[in-house]
Homo-oligomer: A and B are copies of this chain.
């Protein structure tokens, strides 16, 4: 299908916006009138630039408050429209968005509105222009899309149709299934926007909080399913008003935008392939569909004809060309985590790993890279000059520069990610060394995809001279979660990337209080929880999270959590090796005693070892402890999950952030008496 975006969705001058839109491979765009008015280019020049860039101008928008109870005002509005038709002629645009009226001068009689729209359509027809009439959620009279469609039907003019906007429909809680009742040739245009679910004035919600499909809380796959089932085959167009996108560089935003449409197209198809009834296939159904063991090609190959009798959607999908990426990777946790260091920090980080029970397990055959290992968990320290890691260090200081996931098929995973506009990454590889498929993520770090064959072929042994294992473990297991501090500009971007490229599903947004500002947190995970990512963002520039964001698109991992089976034993062992843990105040433990019934002996151990505690509604328990920060950049967490606890101890985040804010201890000191 054709893909389009409204210029209001992104930042900058009109010509720069158009260039970014073309660069992200959109087919066309909607001209937001103010962008044109504020432009130094004449409409004819803009039309020519669009043609040069290979972009069609799909819509001129918006024309507001057209109909009028008063005839004199109506005549004036017709004149006003004629001026815009002139301009559209210069521009080369053939469709204009007519919003339902929000002014006190609006007509309130449907027949009158239909009549006035008919008269406008007559004039438009003479110019070869079509009118797309849209119901705004906060309009005075026509705020329901069914009402909008009734008026269009009543006016009955070939140059008048409806424009559907997912925000205006879903924000009012209207059921989108009635879209299928609209005559397909009368759906002139489709605008798509997601939004977080909020209870607030709908105009404010619309103007500031819209986001790309997949970033918010609306069920857009279901919505789009109804529109396609109705027979719509025009462009899928994004119209997003978002305060952060208005500020962020348009070159990044347009790639996010495209990614969101691609994700949406795939979602609609996945549901159809699974044979789900669109009307009942709400968000919850999607993960199963995704996790199901469907071969990559099945999605593409699903014989549309065979299903065309099943539902109108399946029939529509048979006719339409939707995005068909390789299936999402099946992820089985983390293969390794790679740290960028320099000469000044390499040894210090090694001491931390050692205190955490990792042993130095190998030296890279051709690079200054060392492997640290505890059980199945691998950490890599990269200090190779001229490498990606050294460039990363230069920009961000000591940081986590790459994460490798264990996947069923690394090549397919990369192909999927690149289909979603992530750039493939190819590092320098020495002779006989292993190439691991990889992409560069939205925050600039690298994501490797390790296939089982690769590990079966013993890729560690190929690249590294492995040492004899010595048992130095303190009981740490796999990586439980990876916490990322995102700059505000790339928080929603990261959510969408994880969701689209990796098939993770996001949880709720949480608000956490740091002593110096609010932090928003949202976790994503796969179905078996072998990969959990917690994204954090801070509007304030003074929080610990904000300080972990070293640059606009910087290296954002601010802590790495390891699972353990007996946290008390592991913490005690690490302490025995000189590892410091964050000093949680006694007041916290006094309060724990008031909040929970906890065995006094357990409480004493928690307090003694500075381990934090949380309990969920069904009795699941979470015990966790934090280290201080390494060079002010990142830290480590030890976690023990008991009884199906599925969160991250959010209620303890504020005490942790307060402790981090005042902490000045160094991570490792030699144990006493050594």
Binding site for B on A (CB under 8 A): 11-13, 33-34, 36-40, 42-43, 79-80, 83-84, 87, 198-201, 204, 207-208, 243, 246-247, 511, 513, 515-518, 539-543, 583, 585-588, 590-591, 593-595, 654-655, 658-659, 661-662
Task: Chain B residues near A43: list those with CB within 8 A.
Answer: 587
Say yes or no: A38 contacts B515, CB within 8 Å: yes
Assuming A204-B199, A594-B84, A661-B13, is B516 touching A246 (CB within 8 A)?
yes
Min CB–CB distance A485 → chain B (angstroms): 16
Expressed in whole angstroms, the Cα–Cα distance for A631 and B638 within the complex equals 53
Of B247, B515, B585, which one neighbours A517 at CB under 8 angstroms? B247
Q: Which residues of B contact A33 (CB under 8 A)?
A: 591
Q: Which residues of chain B have C-beta atoms less than 8 A from A199's C-beta?
A: 200-201, 204
Selected contact of A247 from candidates B37, B542, B590, B654, CB within 8 Å: B542
Sorted nearest first, the 9 A-B pairs with minimum C-beta distance are: A200-B200, A38-B658, A247-B540, A199-B201, A83-B594, A247-B517, A37-B591, A37-B587, A80-B594
For A247, the chain B residues whose CB sits under 8 A away are: 516-518, 539-543
**Is there contact, CB below 8 Å, between A539 and B243?**
yes
- Quickly give the copy total for this chain: 2
Question: Pick the contact of A11 from B83, B516, B659 — CB < 8 Å?
Answer: B516
Contact call A13/B201, Cβ cutoff below 8 A: no
A176 to B183, CA, bound (A): 54
Q: A315 CA to B246 CA in the complex, in Å? A: 54
Contacting pair B518 A243 (CB below 8 A): yes
Alpha-carbon gap, A43 to B541, bound state (A): 30
Is B200 within 8 A of A42, CB to CB? no
Enumerate chain B residues within 8 angstroms of A42, measured Cβ to Cβ: 586-587
User: Which B residues are in CB contact (< 8 Å) with A513?
Assistant: 34, 246
**Separation in Å of the A631 CB from the closest CB of chain B?**
22
Q: Which of chain B's residues have a CB closer than 8 A to the CB of A591?
A: 33, 37
Q: List 25 A-B contacts (CB under 8 A).
A: A11-B515, A12-B516, A13-B662, A34-B513, A37-B591, A38-B587, A38-B654, A38-B658, A39-B658, A40-B583, A40-B662, A42-B586, A42-B587, A43-B587, A83-B594, A199-B200, A199-B204, A200-B200, A208-B518, A246-B513, A246-B516, A246-B540, A247-B518, A247-B539, A247-B543
